[in-house]
Structure 1
Amino acid sequence: MTERRLRLIEPPTTPPPPTPPVRRAAPRRRVRVAVLFAVLVVGTVLVSLLSAGSGQFDVPLGQVVGSVLHHVGVGGSSLDRFAEATLWEVRFPRVVMALVVGCLLGASGALMQGIFGNPLAEPGVVGVSSGAAVGACLSIVFGWGFLGAFTTPALAFVTGLLTTLLVYVLSRSGGRSEVVTLILTGVAVNAVAGAVIAFLTFLSDQSSREQIVFWQLGSLAGSRWVYVYSLLPLAVAGFLVAGVLAKRLDLLALGDRQARHLGVRVEALRMVSVVVVALMVSAAVSYAGIIGFVGLVVPHLVRMVAGPGHRVLVPASALAGALLLGGADLVARTLFRFADLPIGALTALVGGPFFFWLLLRTRRRAGGWL
């Protein structure tokens, strides 16, 4: 009788297998990413069409869509010759330039934050914007025109690229470039470039000073199709290389030592990434002037929605940058009648308070105030 009771109390020899956990994080993230890309694409298209139809001479949205469909071979256009010329010779070049520049700045910001492992990094850290400004100021002050209308953008592109390479070379020590040294070298080179710009402004006349100030504030006024066509090859090349680098940047987020153990050539990856950022930002700044905070704000916002994976972060940041800059340019052209506000001033008005909010948020997460 006792044995029988013990057998009844004994637990079963083979316990039932545990219930596997329900993995819902990955499907939810995929849905969130899909919704994000859909919102960015639809928003960019709507902002582009609204921007093309808005201005001193307004064109209804339906007629803008009809004109676009007519140019791609679908249907006819109800616009007269003057309205068609306004759309395709004035408005659309500026709209496309805003989208391309926004894509370049957004993707460059995502790459920079991946290189430094810091969501508060932005392309201006390595001196590309200030270096490009030096080249533009040289062209404006001395009146160089050996490339015609392309002289100022070409000099801005070359000097921005050379400044970034100089920062990288000066920051190398023992065959490597440390992140902290790179940032400090960029700060020093930015200060020197600012002094050179101030000296050139002092040497210039009143007309040149106005051009320098207007260029430094950022503007898309005067955009033409020939400028867009010259910018597109650099943009496409930069996006392709950035897409290749995205997976390795995810490994770099683990730390330099861990990334090396996983087969990543950290120094080569960092050097290629810095060169790609320099090419992309120099190309953008050369035609649009200095437009700040896009490379800082956009990747951080996208990361909050889609996560830190660079294979999603880089293209989503490019689309979000296009949407942001397209909307900022629309506001710059229509906020005040018969006035074209500097687009860099608008992005700074939005980006400055947002950057301060990021600092407060980072400090609170770190566990206190400095």
Structure 2
Amino acid sequence: MNRCKTYHFFLIFLSGLAAVLLTGCDSSESPERINIAQALSSGSDLGCYSIAQKPANIRLPEDSGAHEAFQTEWWYYTGNLRTQNHQLFGFQLTFFRRALSCKPLKKGSKWRTRQLYFAHLGLTDVSNAKFYSMQRMNRESIGIAGSQAVPFKVWVDDWKVIQTGDTMRLSASESPVALDLFFSHFSQPIFQGNQGLSRKGPNLSNSSYYYSIPRIKTRGVITIGTQPFEIEGFTWLDHEWSTSAMSKDVSGWDWFSAHLDDGRDLMVCRIRNKNGEANGYGFGSLFFPDGSYEILEEQDFTIRPLNKWESQVTKKKYPHKWLITLPEKGIELYATPLVPNQEHTHSFTYWEGAARFKGDKIQGLGYIELTGY
């Protein structure tokens, strides 16, 4: 899967929960009976999941909800927002769905489920160089987490995005931060790759179904502690689903999105093999103000890291500045995080945060995601 994302660490972690959640809360099932080795293996039922192998006829809003025939899915919201006095904030709210089995559930407890949802909330307070990171996790059963297409809704507990008419509302809070955002004026979608089929590796099954809505007008209130900030800006949405997107020799990826001041929106992603080199299946897109777009392949752009930043928590070393070039488009941008430390350190660790993109005659704000370091 991917928005360049497979999250191998996340999948192993969730597989370890499968034996518990599939049995529900029946008292007849004892934790001592869980076969950890079996739970951490790939399982014998992977063959009954659907696989992204041919171009998709993605239709919206019908495909905005869950695709439970596939093993993994996410709805990814990232945005750069500012107050009237130009105080900058970045935010990320991601909802993940993980199918724990593709086999029918046995009758019994209403707590039994085949679907686990979890969410990451990130908020970057640029003026104070502060990054807040939170996580939620819950099962789909009895409505405490889930997603639906029409009207659109995705939620984990009280973290949610809900459609009402032509507007969507994103709300999530956990002390000391709260987001209450309203989305309107959605750009046309980008169907990434080949009509929504996004290749990530040499095998046909190394693919996901993937669309983006690159520019969503956003307004609302961010609260930190007791201080509210009225903000506005733009949000980027990625929705992606798959079963087996990444090959075994992939170590991670570097993903970049940018809202450029000239009205264009850029996304590029480099997938890295274990030797640190690009695997040849990098991808991207360039969206234009008139709603048209171009799909990019790895030969259309270069991503060159320039220096590094070391986490004081995990001791991981991440690239900290990049030069991104699209020679045929005349684009050369330096991408720099607005705050160095935007690292998530939950069930699995990755870096994702707000960034500035700046060139000779072009600039913008966006987001960067780094995994596998």
TM class by smaller structure: under 0.3
**Greater RCO between the two (CA within 8 Å, min separation 6)?**
1
Indicate the structure (1 or 2) with the bigger Cα radius of gyration. 1
Q: Taking structure 1 as the reference length, what is the TM-score of the superposition?
A: 0.26
Structure with higher strand content: 2
Give the TM-score, by structure 2 length: 0.26
Structure with the largest fraction of helix: 1
